[in-house]
Amino acid sequence: MKKQNAEDIASELKRLRDWKKTGGKIERTYEFPDFPKAIGFVNGISIYSESKDHHPIIEVNYNKVTLSLFTWCENALTKKDFETATYFDFLYGDSE
């Protein structure tokens, strides 16, 4: 998978809602009405991530879920990270 250069990353981040580059990863925090809804979102993420063999770092803090993406085998951000972020936004309900 092709590593994304700085220009590619900037372009992708403009397209994505609320994602930011933090170090070598992209990251977003989603907020839910309560803990069960947050965990339901995480469960949806787990099914998708397992099917694509591309797993985010997940942090749950009551009603907030923070996801970080990075392509470990490439030691860089790749198109796969941005495609995955797009799906997570869709799952959350941010699709246009």
Is the pLDDT score of 66 beyond 70? yes
- Model pTM? 0.92
Q: How many domains does the chain have?
A: 1
Least confident among 2-6, 46-50, 67-71: 2-6
What HEC string does the chain produce?
CCECCHHHHHHHHHHCCCCEEECCEEEEEEECCCHHHHHHHHHHHHHHHHHHCCCCEEEEECCEEEEEECEHHHCECEHHHHHHHHHHHHHHCCCC
Structural domain containing residue 81: 6-92
| Residue 57: predicted pLDDT | 97
pLDDT in tens, 27-56: 999 999 999 999 999 999 999 999 999 999
Whether 1 is covered by a domain: the verdict is no
Average model confidence (pLDDT) across the chain: 94
Is the pLDDT score of 96 beyond 70? no
**Which CATH number do you get for residue 61?**
3.30.1360.20
Whether 63 is covered by a domain: the verdict is yes
